[in-house]
Amino acid sequence: MKTKKKNLLTVDEYIEEALYNKKFGYYMTKNPFGKKGDFITAPNISILFSEMIAIWIISFWENLDCPKKFNLVELGAGDGEMMKILIKTFDRFPIFKKACNINILEKSNFLKKKQKKNIINKNTKWLKNIEDLNNLPCIFIANEFFDALPIKQFIKKENKWYERNVKFSKKKKPKFIDLLFDMKKFERKIHFKISHKQKFIEFAPLYLKYLKIIGKKITLNNGGILIIDYGYLDKELKNTLQAISNHKYSDILDNFGKSDITHNVNFYLINQMIRKFGSFNITVTNQKKFLTKLGILERAEILTKNTSFIKKADIYFRIKRLIDKSSMGELFKVMLITNNKNNFRLGFEID
């Protein structure tokens, strides 16, 4: 695998090819979700996760004074499992359902076909570009979306910045090499100083693109974005790049196009980026606090009231995976971004 001119790709170019190449890209040729795939996401673990998100969305819509029409936008819908349960839950709220225009932004045609089989709703629209949204209030949902965006990596050595690249060879395994990089020029180009007090940087240019568009929509039309992803809150960026195959970590430079390549989202960086595009209310918590405050344990109690021990144990085992400290409970963060006039905080209340 090589570019037309040289056997060298920046890390984000390498990830883009590995994940999204139309012929052999990981997300373009297979379904990575579930037991038979390479990893399991929260909607695949328990339908209660998606039910909690549905209740949160309806509550947010009510906070917006129940607009007669609004856009619900899922960014990267995976196999469509979460949206399927969202729609099933919305069926119990006819006024809300009538107001809701469902939109999905999905890059993979392969996954889009999976989603269309899973989501039985004729009013669901698949967007080619996020810019195609009309000027209605928008509620964006991004569950494990940002971690799948290709990132650049930069490292500081002896007060000089280098960009990490992947070098290919016909006979040898690809390897990482660091090439001298003009960071000041790059920061002028993106209008964002990412290198301040940093020694190592992971930066996805698409973060800025999506946050700019979403920020504008939120500012002009009201609404907000709920981001759920595994990540960290530190001001100092670090190397979190990783590959996953068959539910296990693998070498990033092995199995090109056959394993997922991802990174831990830095929520402090997202906070700094979105503030470039306006004045927003931003709050963050972890997945355990978010789901428990929404009532996932109370919902489980209702569901298991007259069920068998085995079914009850299964439901609570799945919830434990979502909220336990040693599993997803603290590793996954939840961030809400609204315009500065909106103080909606369901799921983010302080103890």
pLDDT tens per residue, range 159-174: 999 999 999 887 778 8
Q: The domain that contains 28 carries what CATH number?
A: 3.40.50.12710
Can you give the pTM of this predicted structure?
A: 0.94
Residue 141 resides in a domain: yes
Find the mean pLDDT for residues 243-260: 81
Q: Which domain holds residue 139?
A: 8-339
Number of domains in the chain: 1
Confidence of residue 36 (pLDDT cuts 50, 70, 90): low
Confidence of residue 3 (pLDDT cuts 50, 70, 90): very low
Asked whether the predicted pLDDT for residue 2 surpasses 80, the reply is: no
Spell out a b/e string for 217-236, using b for 16 or more CB atoms within 10 Å of the CB, else e: bbbebbbbbbbbbbbbeeee
Residue 347 resides in a domain: no
Residue 349 resides in a domain: no
Asked whether the predicted pLDDT for residue 83 surpasses 90, the reply is: yes
Q: For position 33, what pLDDT does the model report? A: 67
Residue 344 resides in a domain: no
Residue 345 resides in a domain: no
Distance CA 101, CA 136 (A): 10
Residue 107 resides in a domain: yes
Residue 350 resides in a domain: no
Asked whether the predicted pLDDT for residue 37 surpasses 60, the reply is: no
Q: What's the sign of the alpha-carbon dihedral 115, 117, 123, 127?
A: positive
Residue 104 resides in a domain: yes
Find the mean pLDDT for residues 300-307: 90
Higher pLDDT, 30 or 192: 192
Higher pLDDT, 226 or 246: 226
Task: Work out the mean pLDDT of the chain and round it to a whole number.
Answer: 92
Q: Are 267 and 232 in contact (CB under 8 A)?
A: yes
Residue in 196, 187, 166 with CA at minimum distance from that of residue 178: 166
